[in-house]
Amino acid sequence: MCDKQMLEENLTQKPHKYVSIKIHSNPSKPCRLKTKIIITFLLALALVSIFTGYLIYTKSHSMTEYPSDPIEPRIPSVSKLHVFKRAAACSDAPICSEVGKTILAQNGSAVDSAIASMFCNGLLNQQSTGLGGGFFMTVYIKEEGKAYSVIARESAPAAATSDMFKRSVNKSSEGALAVAVPGQVRGLWAAYLRWGKLPWASLVSPAIEICKEGFPLSQIVLDALLIRSQQVKNDANLRQMYVDPRTDDFYKVGNITKPSQVLCETLATIAANGGDELYNGSLSMEFLKDLHRVGSVITADDLRNYQPKITEPLAVPFGDGDTLFTPPPPGGGLVLISILSILSGYRFNSSSIATTEDKILSYHRIIEAFKYSYALRSKLGDADFLDLDEIIANVTSPEYGEEIRLKIDDNKTSYDSALYGAETYAEDDSGTAHLSILAENGDAVSITSSVDLFFGAVKMCDKQMLEESLTQKPHKYVSIKINSNPSKPCRLKTKIIITLLLALALVSIFTGYLIYTKSHFTTEEPSDSNEPRIPSVSKLRVFKRAAACSDAPICSEVGKTILAQNGSAVDSAIASMFCNGLLNQQSTGLGGGFFMTVYIKEEGKAYSVIARESAPAAATTDMFKRSVDKSSEGALAVAVPGQVRGLWAAYLRWGKLPWASLLFPAIEICKEGFPLSQIVLDALHERSQQVKNDANLRKMYVDPTTDDFYKVGDITKPSEVLCETLAIIAAKGGDELYNGSLSMEFLKDLHRVGSIITADDLQNYQPKITEPLAVPFGDGDTLFTPPPPGGGLVLISILSILSGYRFNSSSIASTEDKILSYHRIIEAFKYSYALRSKLGDADFLNLDEIIANVTSPEYGEEIRLKIDDNKTSNDSALYGAEAYAEEDSGTAHLSILAENGDAVSVTSSVDLFFGAGFSTHKTGIVMNDVMDDFSSPGITNAYNLKPSRANYIVPRKRPLSSMTPSILVDTNKNVKLVIGSSGGTRIPTSAALVAIGKLWFGQSIKEAIDEPRVHHQLFPMYVSYEYGLQDAIVKGLRAKGHKMVRYTTIRSVNCSLYRNSTAIYGNADFRKAGDVCGLN
């Protein structure tokens, strides 16, 4: 999730669409949080939170066997720093924060938001909070400039006595006598009557739906279950919810658990009848029967007479004119005030923790303040039953802190509790949950609730339930600021690395890949299943104004920030590209090239930027005749790179912000480093020897203590020379690598390893800005995609053939329908890849006739007449192929949609992972091996097919590519779809499948990207398919004659944006763990 944006996530066990919470205006008909929100929010927000927030971070920090204390500072957690402009909701469970946010979005008050979140949290964290507990709430009303405390702490029953636990201490913490009169529901009701705006029922309805649908078990709850295992298993309702009857053990983390039906009914009754229902309504009678059944001394009078208290909070000056509001006793606010008052006189600042010695002294003082304040705590209690005025006046006085500081010895502590003023001990309490709300109008709520020990008294009444808490450590967010003066380029401050990389990147690395992708793309996959594959943990993002999608979350964030600074779509793409060239340099970077499709809304016109690498002037058609390996590895494999000059050309045409400002995010990232991702690690293993033999790459990726690659999540830093190269390009412009002083160092590096690229090759390289292919698509839409040597014509061929089948949602409604549809799609792939073997660089070939044919209305119909719905053929000649076309790989993609309607789709590459397998010595650039994308005469492929003459090497020629960045525009000249893929020869089929899924099959953009893929490129003569394609479909396709081979590695990765009249929907493929960031 991007730091400046909170979004709905989309993860279900069946296909779905995002459903928002809608508040009905009629309280007699309470709104329903539609069932699908449970699928969407719970299995996305909750599962992601469970596995990242706990397994990755908490698990490693809360185990009983800690490693030795580290010398290095602990790395920041994977919790996310979120930054919002209008309002925010923070709770212990992501879905409950989402519920709170949605209430705020419906113009609910801060208290409305808190109430809805509390009911939700009472389900997801019932070991710590819930209907059977109580809370303290601080409310601030901006219009009044006044704060209030709501004290809904549980109270002792009338029959309770001072010595009731004298003979059995255990009964004070377990069983019926441990239960105090709960204050939670009546407290929320009192707060609602004072400050609520929306219908009460609408605030409880989200929790009711969550209760009915269930939610994933979290590690925090499981830990609490293990602590109170016997008690939970002895309770019928809790056992039903948490214990797997097949194993008689607790469910595992991520398993769906459902509260008892009676609890859901209890919530529904409270929603319909109000908060008093549990205290003096018909529900109270059932509640009392439940309590008395287990021996409680709570009576009907106790329930009726329980009253929450709305009072003034403690208010003390804090800092430079600020005021701190916090609950009075029996709340813990006075202890907090004591700590802060003592410490305020030390004038702590950043220098207080600058050195180890400074930190030791500061922590010593903090600990001493804790000790004096907890001595104070032993004297406190309920202010309604004690005279605490003198104590409160003392602690809140200006002199209090100074008096305590005089007692603190900076050189030593004491183990004598009497020295700190303690004469008795105060009971521990635990099992709490917290949430914070800040509304757009300036009102705020801070609320902490509890059932005391985990699962309270562990007596769950038949009509009643409890709850829990999980907190996370915040980071500081530093935004990217663009200077208006290009001579003083902006700096992306260092802390963005902590915030964005270690939050966005680590979360993405561990959720998007380790949790889901690893389980679906390991080499030992399960057999094909007849069940649909569950949706991935990738997130469906929804924005109103603009969006940026890339293969790396931080690069999407960089792109979004450029858009927020009023940068153009091309500015955003350029900044994201320089960023992605660091985080995914196995696939893209300064030593590669790209294809870009640009749409300018004001003109209603699209352009293609072709910055594909080109053959050096000294290259010859048969240069690899004697050594085929040299075409993919080493200096001869390197074509003249087009990336930097291509971006410079696009900038000069459509850029708005200073050029340097677009590179500085990448420069800062380069200097600070970033976490290694699983995707990059896989690429490192694939080209291990080459990487380890390169000094710059070895330094970046190889741990010198083990001589093996760093692990996922370890911080890796690019070479210093690469950072310097970026800084020079930022200062001097994109031509610097081609005809500036930098070009001389670059050439020396290339010549040192035997490259034939010359100064003339660099100076003469020119990217090409031209018209894209433009074809009608659907009902008046137009598809723009790059001409050859790009892969756009293959995509057009596929879609033109398939358009006549009039695909819709019924085309995949049944297994038989899906088998036929997939058969037709595969046949279209085969005919289109036969076409691909005839293509090449349009500047060196006359492709006009082929292009006119494929883009004609008759083309698709001609091919459809050749397709037999009952069978396929394994004869490549039948499809029109006479030669094979080289495979390409190692690509990266990003999609941008700006607020003004402009769009950019760009796919870049260095060909194989890490290109030619080396980086330039003094400039640090990973070089492409694009010469391998040409065909060479006399070299047949593994199927004894001759090479494609259309793709032979010619000096200055660009090799054929599969890259297919495309933009679909509707009849009103508005962008409808920005689409593209990485993945070599699988790019056109991947892009086609996503477009078909979204535009024809009626899937959401996420569902279309998640869908298991099929691919056929004619050579080899088989269908590659992903795990997740149902077994019945695989068998059905085999029955039509298709040879089916399941592949076990990531082959194609999509990053797409879809726009309709209301919003922009974006999804980054889970297969590479990217993300989408945007503006609302």
Q: Which fold has domain 333-379+381-420?
A: Serum Albumin; Chain A, Domain 1 (1.10.246)
Can 891 be counted among the known catalytic residues?
Answer: yes
**Residue that wins the pLDDT comparison between 12 and 612:** 612
Asked if pLDDT for residue 433 goes beyond 80, the answer is no
Cα angle 198, 201, 205 (rounded to 5 degrees) comes to 110
**Interatomic CA distance for residues 701 and 699, integer angstroms:** 6
Reported as half-sphere exposure (CB side, CA atoms, 13 A), residue 437 has a value of: 34
Q: In this predicted structure, what is the pLDDT of residue 491? A: 36
Q: pLDDT tens for residues 274-307? A: 999 999 988 988 889 888 888 889 999 999 999 9
Q: In this predicted structure, what is the pLDDT of residue 1050? A: 57
**Residue that wins the pLDDT comparison between 887 and 110:** 110
Asked if pLDDT for residue 720 goes beyond 80, the answer is yes
Distance, C-alpha 261 to centroid of its chain: 33
**Interatomic CA distance for residues 572 and 483, integer angstroms:** 16
Question: Quick one: CA torsion of 585, 589, 595, 598, rounded to 10 degrees?
Answer: 100
Q: In this predicted structure, what is the pLDDT of residue 494? A: 33
Asked if pLDDT for residue 531 goes beyond 70, the answer is yes
As beta bridge partners, residue 975 has: 969
Q: In this predicted structure, what is the pLDDT of residue 58? A: 39
Among positive and negative, which fits the CA dihedral 1044, 1026, 1052, 815?
positive
Contact 994, 1065 (CB under 8 A): no
984: annotated binding-site residue? yes
**Residue that wins the pLDDT comparison between 629 and 1020:** 1020
Cite the beta strand spans of 490-621 per DSSP E: 541-543, 546-550, 593-600, 605-611
Q: In this predicted structure, what is the pLDDT of residue 44? A: 45
Q: How confident is the model at residue 237 (pLDDT cuts 50, 70, 90)?
A: confident
Asked if pLDDT for residue 478 goes beyond 50, the answer is no
468's CB contacts (< 8 A; 6+ apart) are: 92, 121, 124, 125, 126, 127, 128, 129, 220, 221, 224, 431, 433, 454
313-327, 491-505, 731-745, 864-878: range with lowest mean pLDDT: 491-505
In this structure, which amino acid lies at residue 126? Answer: Q
Q: pLDDT tens for residues 25-35? A: 333 333 333 43
Q: How confident is the model at residue 37 (pLDDT cuts 50, 70, 90)?
A: very low
Q: Across residues 485-511, what is the average pLDDT?
A: 38
Q: In this predicted structure, what is the pLDDT of residue 590? A: 97
Q: pTM of the entire structure?
A: 0.58
Contact 905, 965 (CB under 8 A): yes
Distances (CA, A) of 958 to 607, 640, 911: 19, 9, 13
Q: pLDDT tens for residues 188-236? A: 999 999 999 999 999 999 999 999 999 888 888 888 888 878 888 888 8
Cα angle 358, 360, 366 (rounded to 5 degrees) comes to 105
608: annotated binding-site residue? no
Q: pLDDT tens for residues 990-1000? A: 999 999 999 99
Asked if pLDDT for residue 903 goes beyond 60, the answer is yes
How long a stretch of residues is the chain?
Answer: 1080
Catalytic residue among 891, 920, 964, 989: 891
Q: In this predicted structure, what is the pLDDT of residue 837? A: 86
**Residue that wins the pLDDT comparison between 513 and 195:** 195
Q: How confident is the model at residue 674 (pLDDT cuts 50, 70, 90)?
A: very high
Asked if pLDDT for residue 47 goes beyond 80, the answer is no
Q: In this predicted structure, what is the pLDDT of residue 885? A: 57
Asked if pLDDT for residue 450 goes beyond 50, the answer is yes
Asked if pLDDT for residue 346 goes beyond 70, the answer is yes
34-48, 728-742, 869-883, 1031-1045: range with lowest mean pLDDT: 34-48
Q: Which residue has the tokens 């819930």?
A: 130
> Which DSSP category does 347 fall into?
-
As beta bridge partners, residue 54 has: none
Q: What DSSP string describes 905-950?
A: EEEEE-SSTTTTS-B-TTT-PBBP-GGGGSB-TT---TT-PPBPGG
Cite the beta strand spans of 146-223 per DSSP E: 146-152, 215-216
962: annotated binding-site residue? yes
86: annotated binding-site residue? no
> What proportion of the chain, given as a percentage, has pLDDT over 90?
56
Asked if pLDDT for residue 725 goes beyond 50, the answer is yes
Distances (CA, A) of 499 to 196, 234, 494, 502, 941: 35, 45, 9, 6, 48
Asked if pLDDT for residue 458 goes beyond 90, the answer is no
Q: In this predicted structure, what is the pLDDT of residue 601? A: 96
Q: How confident is the model at residue 508 (pLDDT cuts 50, 70, 90)?
A: very low
Contact 1013, 1027 (CB under 8 A): no
Mean pLDDT of the chain: 83
**Residue that wins the pLDDT comparison between 14 and 438:** 438
**Interatomic CA distance for residues 323 and 499, integer angstroms:** 29
Count helices and strands (H / E) in the chain.
39, 34
Among positive and negative, which fits the CA dihedral 557, 562, 565, 568?
negative
Q: In this predicted structure, what is the pLDDT of residue 176? A: 78
Q: In this predicted structure, what is the pLDDT of residue 489? A: 36
Domain segments of the chain as ranges: 86-158+170-308+438-450, 333-379+381-420
Q: In this predicted structure, what is the pLDDT of residue 427? A: 57
Convert 143-180 to b/e letters by CB count within 10 Å (16 or more is b): eeeebbbbbbbbbebeeeeeeeeeeeeeeeebbbbbbb
Asked if pLDDT for residue 343 goes beyond 60, the answer is yes
Q: pLDDT tens for residues 578-622? A: 999 999 999 999 999 999 999 999 999 999 999 999 999 999 998
980: annotated binding-site residue? no
Q: pLDDT tens for residues 112-143? A: 999 999 999 999 988 888 898 899 999 999 99
Among residues 908, 209, 181, the alpha carbon closest in space to that of 592 is found at 908
